[in-house]
Amino acid sequence: MTVAPLAVLFDRDGTLIIDVPYCADPRRVCPMPAAVPALRMLRAAGVRIGVVTNQSGIGRGLITAEQAAAVNAEVVRLLGPFDTFRVCPHAPDEGCACRKPRPGMVLDAAAELGVPPARTAVIGDIGADVEAAAAAGAAAVMVPTAVTRPEEIRRAPVVRRTLVEAVEHLLGPR
């Protein structure tokens, strides 16, 4: 991205918060170490921020929509408000348009924010996040974790070690 994005969308699990598979308990929500300062930087720069998260546990019957909403509310409580919060509740085999790596949530979030996808960036920890961004015409930055596969890292257009480094990359020189 040659110009700073007008909106940055974050994956939730493994990106903004420590990944607890199929988390149904808000008490288990723990922000990633650089989440607070990264979000603070974007807010200070006037960049709109949002979350785009696959929550297949709902579609698989492992957690309820209410439990997922309670976890999301805790994310907001700990990390501050987001301009949009998109959730795909579908199981992988449902063929929905919103589940990453499909672009549905990215496109919907950008439209809600009134920002063209080309001026939107997605930050995530796995290939599906990067692929959803590319499919939507948005920029992508991968911040790998221990579960990110090496081939996903190799395919990512931009890789940074922390959320702060990812945001610094997107905002460019100040």
Residues 2-13: tens digit of each pLDDT: 688 999 999 999
Question: What is the domain-level CATH number for residue 105?
Answer: 3.40.50.1000
Q: What is the three-class DSSP state of 141?
A: strand
Across residues 16-41, what is the average pLDDT?
A: 97
Nearest to 57 by CA among 43, 69, 73, 45: 69
Look at the chain and report how many structural domains it folds into: 1
Across residues 12-19, what is the average pLDDT?
A: 97
Residue 1 belongs to a domain? no
**Which residue is catalytic, options 13, 83, 125, 129?**
13
Residue 124 belongs to a domain? yes
Angle between helices 163-171 and 35-44 (to 10 degrees): 20
Residue 67 belongs to a domain? yes
* Active site (annotated) includes residue 83: no
Residue 59 belongs to a domain? yes
**Which residue is catalytic, options 11, 83, 125, 129?**
11
Containing structural domain, residue 26: 7-171
Across residues 7-33, what is the average pLDDT?
A: 97
pLDDT in tens, 81-112: 999 999 999 999 999 999 999 999 999 999 99
pTM, whole model, 2 decimals? 0.96
Residue 2 belongs to a domain? no
Residue 70 belongs to a domain? yes
* Active site (annotated) includes residue 19: no
